[in-house]
A and B are shown apart, each in its own frame.
Chain A
Amino acid sequence: MPRWIVYALVILAVASLLPFAFIARARGAKADRTRLRPIQNMGTQQKYLPQSENPLFADSRAMRPAVEGAVRRGTVIDDGAFARGRAADGQFVAEFPVAVNRALLLRGQERYNIYCSPCHGLTGAGDGLVSRRADALQEGTWVPPLTFHGDQVRGRPVGHIFNTITHGIRNMPAYGSQIDPDERWAIVAYVRALQRSQSATVTDVPPDLRAGLR
């Protein structure tokens, strides 16, 4: 066999492995290119999914934002204590319009830790991670959150705290669009529990557990 054929065969054999080497490299790497879909199979259909784009609208949102004042189908229009935290005379309510029990407090704890603890901290002292970082940046725009354990917030009726979550207050943003009313009440109940826990005395502990404290 002539030499050149042997060489050609060896080169061909090596070259045939190259595509595999390229693929192996692509496998490990991150890519910014849109994915290859060799066979489409109706993977992209003429329909609008949540948060997809629709060029017909100026803001290109296929999901149309609700018109101001629109009420979701099935919602009860309620401007009483449960939905607004205010009594008929416009005063903030001082009593919970929902039953306060262990389940509500646990739900409140979960929601509080998600939505409030970044700023107010896990105990409500105002030392959340975001708050600490914002303080450290010293930009002059950040107002530290108010502690829940001072007289000001301890003295607020529950309806006022509910209203604070719904509409925000002074430098605090509104959370009404992210948190439903029943969850807001659960959070208020948990805020009350935090306030009590931070100024608890030994008489708050059930007698049979007191021995374990010492």
Chain B
Amino acid sequence: MPTNNSETSRRFVFPKWSNLLRPALAVLMIGGPLYLTALAWYGGSPKTLDIGYAPVQPVPYSHALHAGKLGLDCRYCHSSVESAAFAAVPPTQTCMNCHAKVRANSEKLALVRESYATGMPIPWVKVHDLPDYVYFNHSAHVRRGVGCVECHGRVDRMEVVSQVETLSMAWCLDCHRNPTPRLRPPEFVTQMDWTPGEDPAALGQRLRQERNINPSTDCYTCHR
């Protein structure tokens, strides 16, 4: 049969490069999920979501000034940290110990004076916040010689407190499995710039033996 030329020219013919579509589809099917997984893993990791959270506080209170320059010990304000699970943010009275006399007319402290006069609390924004199904205890750590700096970083250099660790379960367990190099004598827990005069592992080993420190990794330690 004679072919109708005009008909063939209208019929669609796949060009030669379209043979590449099949391997391209394979690449997409494997690469696509891989790409999405990588994106979720990188973007959803606690390192991205949790580290660096630094909410604006109602009073421009600076740890760099009070704990750094003025050298106040953390326990002057967070006085329950050694005896309780919770490291309380100080009541207004604690600020007024000094600010009744120092910077007594400062604009920046207006809210503190108002809170003192009316008895309404200062609405500090919580920075570090574990999920409610986790049990954490400050005194169990501080009294056994885990310094504030191990979990909160150099607070004495922060104008605004920010979170520097993930506070994820993996992070807790990393230390509970091997706390040795991160232990110090309990009298130095609040000293931010403390360095062991010797090998930290050797010192940690000695402290662990002397004080029988064995953090547990059982689930009910932190989920009770």
Contact = CB atoms under 8 A, between A and B. Distances in A.
Interface stretch (B1-9, B86-94, B192-200): B86-94
Interface stretch (A84-92, A111-119, A159-167, A189-197): A111-119
Interface in B159-185: 160, 162
A34 B132 CA distance: 16
A23 interface: yes
Given A30-B54, A43-B131, A141 B49 contact: no
A60 interface: yes
Interface string B55-76: 1100000000000011111011
Interface centre among A16, A113, A130, A175 (most CB of B within 10 A): A130
B101 interface: yes
Closest 4 CB pairs of A and B: A43-B131, A45-B132, A173-B97, A50-B86
The prevalent SS among residues of A at the interface is loop
B110 interface: no
Given A20-B39, A129-B71, A130-B70, A42 B133 contact: yes
Interface of B: 17, 20, 35, 38-39, 42-44, 47-56, 69-73, 75-76, 79, 85-86, 88-89, 93-94, 96-98, 100-105, 119-121, 131-133, 160, 162, 187
Interface in A7-47: 16, 19-20, 23, 26-32, 34-38, 41-45, 47
Given A16-B35, A41-B131, 20 more contacts: A19-B39, A23-B39, A26-B48, A30-B53, A30-B54, A34-B55, A36-B49, A41-B133, A43-B133, A45-B132, A50-B85, A61-B121, A129-B71, A130-B72, A130-B98, A130-B102, A139-B102, A173-B100, A175-B97, A178-B76
Nearest to B31: A16
Contacts of B20: 1
Given A27-B48, A114-B75, A137 B53 contact: no
12 contacts: A19-B39, A26-B48, A27-B51, A30-B160, A35-B53, A42-B131, A42-B132, A43-B133, A51-B88, A133-B70, A139-B103, A173-B96
Contact of A30 (B97, B103, B162): B162
Given A134-B101, A178-B94, A35 B88 contact: no
Contacts of A173: 96-98, 100
B42 A137 contact: no
A38 B46 CA distance: 11
A118 B72 contact: yes
A143 interface: yes
B166 to A, nearest CB: 11
Q: From B49, B93, B104, name the one whose CB has the most chain A CB atoms within 10 angstroms.
A: B49
Contacts of B75: 114
A130 B105 CA distance: 17
A130 B101 CA distance: 11
Contacts of A31: 52-54
A38 B48 CA distance: 13
A174 to B, nearest CB: 8
A28 B54 CA distance: 12
Given A51-B89, A177-B93, A137 B100 contact: no
Contacts of A49: 86, 132
Nearest to A178: B79
A1 B133 CA distance: 57
Contact of A23 (B43, B69, B72, B88): B43
A209 B84 CA distance: 43
Contacts of A79: none
Indicate the member of A28, A29, A32, A42 with the most B CB atoms within 10 Å: A32
A47 B94 CA distance: 27
A114 B49 contact: no
Interface in A185-210: none
B6 to A, nearest CB: 25
